[in-house]
Amino acid sequence: MTKLFCSVPERFVNPLFEVFDGGDFVLSSYRDVESDLAEMRIFFEEGNPRPQLEQALETVGVQAEIFEQSIADEDWKFAYRRHFKTELVSPRILVQPEWEDLAVIKFDPGLAFGTGKHETTKASLQYIDELSSEMRGASFLDMGSGSGILSIAAAKLGYTSVRGFDIDIAAVESSIENAKKNAVDVEFFKYALGSVEKRDLGVADVVVANILGPLLIRFAGEIAPCVGKRLVISGILNEYYSEVLAAYVEMGFEEISRKTIGEWTTGLLKPVSKNQ
């Protein structure tokens, strides 16, 4: 498959399309949002429509350098997909291409923490997404669930036995409502790490603890036994991350990677002794 292309002012694209004679080729265009130019493209397998393109440029009165490129046969058929993304086109209409596999979350955070915009929540969501492909069907525990956004995202991405707890009953109630809005099965409950009345939290393949750094250190002994394969620690100011990490290394974990967004760092850890 061969592609001819040239850049022209956007106002000339439609006239160029109109003056083209019929032929065994496919026409398309791509507008550069940062300029007033559009790239006109012609895909063909046999013959060469270069003379037609040259004649069309002369007819509409525009000069442009013509380039030629060989591409894989399948690439041109789906080239348009690179420029068609999920977009909010009106206050109430979100257009999502069918080939984009997105976990769209509807929720009201209320007074609970977790909107997806805060750096710690965003980094945690990124890890949850990445791990969903690596560990399909993994069980999930959200420590300090807040609005429930992390647990709801996990449920939508295919995690199983998704659970989350928070110290604030109002946050738990908000999470339950948000789970209903998203038609996902998540068990939310009220609990506080360090409670006098201990609760058996069990073991989950993936545990996310998006709480403050000092609390991650204080409750490391209670968090660590719950981790089956992966632990995401978040809510840590950059200058305290090494201290928090050291506490979990002492508990038998090692760091796989970290994400730093702004002044916050989130880490992905694994228990060394379990060889996962």
> If you write DSSP's letter for every residue of 25-71 in order, what string do you get?
EEEEEEE-TTSSEEEEEEEESSS--HHHHHHHHHHHT-----EEEE-
The pLDDT value recorded for residue 13 is: 85
pTM of the model: 0.69
DSSP state of 78: G
Q: Which residues sit opposite 28 in a β-bridge?
A: 41
Residues 6 or more apart in contact with residue 264 via CB below 8 angstroms: 119, 120, 123, 234, 235, 236, 237, 238
Q: Which residue has the tokens 């750094």?
A: 213
Give the separation between CA 10 and CA 68, rounded to whole angstroms.
Answer: 20
Which is it for strands 160-166 and 227-237: parallel, antiparallel or unpaired?
A: unpaired
Q: Distance between the two ends of the chain, CA-based, in angstroms?
A: 45
Q: Which residue has the tokens 């440029």?
A: 57
User: Computed over its alpha carbons, how large is the radius of gyration of the chain?
Assistant: 26
Give the separation between CA 161 and CA 46, rounded to whole angstroms.
Answer: 55
Give the separation between CA 223 and CA 121, rounded to whole angstroms.
Answer: 19
DSSP state of 150: H
The tokens describing 52, both together, are 């037609």
The pLDDT value recorded for residue 18 is: 83
Give the separation between CA 1 and CA 70, rounded to whole angstroms.
Answer: 6
Give the separation between CA 210 and CA 244, rounded to whole angstroms.
Answer: 13
For the chain, which residues make up each domain, given as ranges?
2-77, 119-274
Closest-CA residue to 251 (of 274, 220, 275): 220
The pLDDT value recorded for residue 23 is: 66
> Can you spell out the DSSP letters for 193-239?
TT-SS------EEEEEEES-HHHHHHTHHHHGGGEEEEEEEEEEEGG
Q: Looking at this protein, which amino acid is placed at residue 58?
A: E
Give the separation between CA 259 and CA 266, rounded to whole angstroms.
Answer: 5
Report the chain (276 residues): mean pLDDT per 10 consecutive residues: 86 84 72 77 82 88 89 60 64 68 72 71 94 94 94 95 95 93 95 89 97 95 97 96 97 96 96 70
Give the separation between CA 110 and CA 146, rounded to whole angstroms.
Answer: 10
Architecture of domain 2-77: 2-Layer Sandwich (3.30)
Topology adopted by domain 119-274: Rossmann fold (3.40.50)
Residues 242-260 as b/e (b if ≥16 CB within 10 A, e otherwise) read: eebbebbeebebeeeebbe
